[in-house]
């Protein structure tokens, strides 16, 4: 269905309300408008026909496009026909709104139909008593497996894993395995490999489906399986698991508990989300917008940004105090006030460049001891060279602008000094934070900017004061 | 093998040179040191035993850890035993160095052994005549398929696709298909699904291996296949293909040419790299470090950053000219010079926050027309609220610090004005660039910073001049 929509959207007119997405892959406003009218008219049957064929991800986008009232109304109209998997595809703010409006019984019923990883994703945001009540209303087998997942730490492999998998003993033959798959009704919806386990559920090997299909019926699976495989611990952070997927091009890995027993599998589709989230998190943290999402309310956004702005206020005040030391100097030569922001801004930019390269390399675990040493040297050298280039440029511009060659020399010297500090701080501060187990993406930029501001103002005003004998 | 290393690394002592990676997943310096000594002693056999079992990705990290001389020596020592797939896992600078040092005949031989997507990845960086010469030395079938991939645009799905896949006719039964897989020797190394095609190679449906395995031998594949599938055009940008994978949780998709004929398949492992690259690109572009990698030489880094610094120089000079208009005002009240960087810095931060949220949402295609309108309103409101909060705070601090309540009022007013501009510019500028098909990650931050600097200085100095009658 999504394919039909997809194909159609490429050719169709933008004015066709039957098309879900326009050529740029955005939701078609006409489609959404039509749905909105159907919701207002409470045309439940027509709505169900329209949304039931949608992929969870498309339905998620539709939910996000509706305003709160229409969204809740839509879900109420659909009732049991609403597929909860769409809730795994919306921003947290939207999900919370929807969940707040559903009874625990409704949630229990909706979640029961989901894959275990999707169910955990929804339940992990629900607090204590409510969560217990929801779990209590679910079938025993599902309840136990969800509880086990929820017992693992937040953002761990155990939380993201799917607890449905196929495990077989090593002495089975290919024929036995295929016969089992043909006769067994209760298999996962989709699977890419079969796990060969001993009686205690320790993984002995992995059997990709293509290997099974290429082999004769009489071959025993233990002679076919890969014994050379990656497995992740359920306690492990999802980011670490993601790195294994990236590094070794994996599609599915077994997840084991503390006793090395197979408890679930992680699949690449969940990991793609993790990779995407982690990258966005780095970008947002460097800019001081925390874990904000675009659906967050005004109050949430104000709060998440105020912390950063508050820290920045202290930093800016500090820089201002440094300038204050030189007020008498500035009074004698106002050109200094006119020029000093240039020194600070250039240093700030150079520092941010170095810092960004370093923070990203740390996040991707690219910096082993060899690359680390090279990076530090390179950044300081790059800082010096760019410092010299822009010192000359800005020195000349200043000398001409103020018809004062000495002022050009002073600003040039200050820029070289500030670029050197910018390069060193930009590479060393994130590394130091990383060593101290503080996320370098969050903390580095304030520190680097403070240094480039303070050093920029101080170096320029001090050098000017000395050169022109203003003290 | 990687698994053995991996498992072992978790328990082993850091001082064991037999372990490839330490507990933090970084390369073990002792392991690398040992390899370096073996290279110096030209112990080819021992080296081969050490590196041949490594996963391409681990071998890539080892190549990056060595310095240039050792790296080239290692590849020369290994000769035909060097697995070129490691070259797909290193930074471009390192790959270029290695390729420059190999003859075209050596490259042709090395690339022949690779999967088609890996071969294309290596060959696409090699220019005209050399590439032709290399292709000419390869087996005809491989040459044709590589040429076809290389004819597609850079960063297209056609460049990233694997040209090895399994296609069968719709009238085959499950039994026939399995028998074919068992007898055919020339199958792809790994595959997750089988493509059901008509005689012109139009894809009729997709058969995931699990479905094949669950079905009785007599069932015809056309009754089993998914007819509701995504296919991507070979001309399509890899980023767009990546979005399909993310949105619809895909593992492999068929790639079709302009005539809708199946020409290859895209697999999730390549897409994971695309997602990772695109996210890093956004981060780097926002900070003005272009497409720099941590292995880039000093000259490369100086060049890639100088453009940004040059633009920033013009911006900073512009802001400085604005201050220059008010030199007489500053001369009468030096406190203005001491305070003005606070107004600019706070506005710059608020603008960057809004801009980051907007740029990221645009990159992830999260902004349909509904969310866009909401985001614009939200950002301007958030700017206003945070502006008021920090106006009051900084106003009070200033009034106390300079024992001058009027100065507090003036700076507070300037901050509110600047936050309003910051919020509006932060959201509207990236959206405008995006509409104009200019990458908002590259261009937005200079513009936003210019606006917050200029507006900050101008508003503060103008208001102060008016309030205190300094003009």
Per-residue pLDDT of chain A (471 residues; tens, 9 = 90+): 444 444 444 444 456 777 888 877 788 989 999 999 999 999 999 999 999 999 999 999 999 999 999 999 999 999 999 999 999 999 888 999 999 999 999 999 999 889 889 999 999 988 888 899 999 999 888 898 899 899 999 899 999 999 999 999 999 999 999 999 999 988 888 899 999 999 999 999 999 999 999 999 999 999 999 998 999 999 999 988 998 898 888 999 999 999 999 999 999 988 888 888 887 888 888 888 877 888 888 888 898 899 889 999 999 999 999 999 999 999 999 999 999 999 999 999 999 999 999 998 888 888 888 889 899 999 999 999 999 999 999 999 999 999 999 999 999 999 999 999 999 999 999 999 999 988 888 878 888 989 999 999 999 999 999 999 988
Q: Which residue reads 């022109």 in tokens?
A: A468
Cα torsion B21, B23, B28, B31: sign: negative
Q: Given the DSSP bridges, would you call strands B262-267 and B252-256 parallel, antiparallel or unpaired?
A: antiparallel
Q: Does residue B466 sit at the A interface (CB-CB below 8 Å)?
A: no
Q: Does residue A248 sit at the B interface (CB-CB below 8 Å)?
A: yes
CB contact under 8 A, B294 and A366: yes
CA distance B214 to chain A (A): 4
Sites in chain B below the pLDDT cut of 70: 1-15
Q: Which of residues 332-371 of B touch A (CB under 8 A)?
A: 334-342, 344-346, 349-350, 352-353, 355-357, 360-361, 364-371
Q: Does residue A453 sit at the B interface (CB-CB below 8 Å)?
A: yes
Q: Nearest by CB to A386, from B4, B306, B339: name it.
A: B306
> Residue by residue, what is the 3-state secondary structure of B319-343?
HHHHHHHCHHHHHHCCHHHHHHHHH
The 10s digit of each residue's pLDDT in B104-143 is 999 999 998 898 899 999 999 888 888 999 999 998 888 9
Q: Interhelix angle for A104-112 vs A128-136, to 10°?
A: 60
CA distance A134 to chain B (A): 28
Report chain B's terminal Cα–Cα distance, integer Å: 77
Residues of A in contact with B344 (CB under 8 A): 341
Alpha helix stretches (DSSP H) within B184-297: 209-214, 221-224, 238-248, 268-286
Backbone angles phi, psi at B167, to 5 degrees: -125, 135
Domains of chain A: 2-154 (1.25.60.10), 167-285 (3.10.580.10), 298-467 (1.10.357.20)
pLDDT at A200: 96
Residue A95 sits at the vertex; the CA angle it makes with A90 and A100, to the nearest 5 degrees, is 165
Q: Does residue B18 sit at the A interface (CB-CB below 8 Å)?
A: no
Q: Nearest by CB to A32, from B230, B309, B370: name it.
A: B370
Q: Given the DSSP bridges, would you call strands B262-267 and B167-168 parallel, antiparallel or unpaired?
A: unpaired
CB contact under 8 A, B279 and A284: no
> Which neighbouring-strand residues pair with B266?
B253
CB contact under 8 A, B371 and A315: no
Q: Which of residues 151-210 of A touch B (CB under 8 A)?
A: 178, 181-182, 187, 190-192, 208-210
Q: Please enumerate in sequence order all residues whose Cβ is within 8 A of that of B432, keeping only pairs 6 or more positions apart, or say none.
A: none
CB contact under 8 A, B367 and A65: no
- CB pairs A-B closer than 8 Å: 363
CB contact under 8 A, B368 and A213: no
CA distance A330 to chain B (A): 7
Cα torsion A249, A254, A257, A263: sign: positive
CB contact under 8 A, B309 and A350: yes
Q: Does residue B2 sit at the A interface (CB-CB below 8 Å)?
A: yes
Residues of A in contact with B208 (CB under 8 A): 190
Q: Does residue A58 sit at the B interface (CB-CB below 8 Å)?
A: yes
Task: Say if the ipTM goes beyond 0.85.
Answer: no
Tokens found for residue B400: 């106390």
Cα-based distances in Å from A106 to A111, A138, B223: 9, 11, 36
Q: Does residue B269 sit at the A interface (CB-CB below 8 Å)?
A: yes
CB contact under 8 A, B320 and A327: no
Residues of B in contact with A369 (CB under 8 A): 26-27, 29
| Residue A171: exposure state from Cβ atoms within 10 A (0-12, 13-18, ≥19) | exposed
Nearest-CA neighbor of A442 among A284, A285, A306, A309?
A285
pLDDT at A15: 61
DSSP sequence for A100-120 = HTS-HHHHHHHHHTS-HHHHH
Residues of B in contact with A302 (CB under 8 A): 382, 385-386, 389
CB contact under 8 A, A213 and B209: yes
CB contact under 8 A, A381 and B298: yes
Q: Please enumerate in sequence order all residues whose Cβ is within 8 A of that of B431, keeping only pairs 6 or more positions apart, or say none.
A: B358, B362, B367, B372, B376, B440
Residue A326 sits at the vertex; the CA angle it makes with A321 and A327, to the nearest 5 degrees, is 90
Dist CA B54 CA B60 (whole Å): 9
Residues of B in contact with A32 (CB under 8 A): 370
| Longest CA–CA separation in chain A, Å | 96
| Most B CBs within 10 Å, among A294, A440, A445, to test the B interface | A294
User: A166 to chain B: nearest residue by CA?
Assistant: B210
CB contact under 8 A, A353 and B381: no
Dist CA A38 CA A32 (whole Å): 10
User: B326 to chain A: nearest residue by CA?
Assistant: A338
Task: Provide the Cα torsion A86, A88, A92, A95; round to 10°.
Answer: 40
């Amino acid at each position: 269905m999504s394919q039909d929509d997809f194909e159609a959207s490429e050719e169709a007119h933008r004015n066709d309300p039957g098309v879900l997405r326009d050529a740029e892959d955005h939701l078609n406003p006409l489609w959404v408008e039509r749905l909105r009218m159907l919701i207002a008219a409470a045309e439940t049957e027509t709505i169900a026909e329209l949304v039931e064929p949608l992929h969870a991800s498309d339905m998620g986008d539709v939910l996000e496009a509706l305003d709160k009232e229409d969204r809740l109304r839509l879900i109420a109209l659909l009732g049991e026909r609403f597929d909860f998997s769409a809730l795994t595809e919306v921003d947290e703010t939207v999900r919370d709104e929807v969940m707040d409006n559903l009874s625990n019984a409704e949630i229990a019923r909706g979640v029961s139909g989901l894959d275990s990883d999707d169910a955990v994703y929804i339940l992990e945001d629900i607090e204590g008593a409510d969560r217990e009540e929801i779990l209590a209303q679910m079938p025993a087998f599902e309840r136990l497996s969800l509880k086990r997942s929820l017992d693992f730490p937040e953002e761990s492999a155990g939380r993201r894993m799917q607890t449905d998998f196929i495990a077989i003993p090593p002495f089975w033959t290919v024929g036995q395995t295929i016969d089992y798959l043909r006769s067994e009704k209760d298999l996962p919806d989709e699977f890419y490999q079969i796990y060969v386990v001993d009686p205690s559920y320790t993984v002995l090997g992995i059997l990709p489906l293509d290997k099974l299909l290429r082999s004769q019926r009489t071959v025993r699976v233990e002679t076919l399986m890969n014994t050379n495989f990656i497995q992740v611990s359920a306690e492990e952070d999802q980011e670490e698991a993601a790195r294994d997927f990236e590094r070794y091009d994996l599609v599915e890995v077994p997840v084991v508990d503390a006793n090395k027993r197979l408890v679930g599998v992680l699949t690449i589709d969940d990991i793609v989300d993790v990779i995407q989230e982690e990258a966005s998190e780095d970008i947002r943290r460097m800019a001081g917008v925390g874990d904000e999402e675009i659906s967050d309310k005004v109050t949430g956004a104000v709060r998440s940004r105020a912390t950063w702005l508050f820290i920045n206020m202290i930093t800016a005040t500090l820089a201002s105090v440094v300038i204050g030391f030189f007020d008498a100097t500035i009074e004698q030569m106002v050109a200094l006030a006119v020029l000093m922001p240039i020194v600070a801004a250039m240093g700030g930019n150079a520092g941010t460049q170095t810092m960004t390269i370093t923070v990203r390399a740390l996040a991707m675990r690219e910096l082993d001891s060899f690359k680390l040493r090279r990076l530090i040297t390179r950044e300081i050298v790059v800082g010096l060279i760019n410092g010299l280039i822009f010192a000359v440029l800005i020195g000349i511009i200043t000398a001409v602008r103020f018809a004062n060659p000495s002022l050009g020399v002073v600003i040039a010297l200050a820029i070289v000094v500030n670029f050197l500090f910018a390069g060193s701080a930009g590479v060393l501060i994130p590394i130091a934070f990383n060593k101290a187990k503080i996320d370098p993406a969050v903390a580095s930029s304030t520190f680097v900017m403070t240094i480039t501001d303070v050093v920029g103002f101080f170096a320029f005003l001090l050098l000017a004061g000395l050169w022109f004998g203003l003290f």
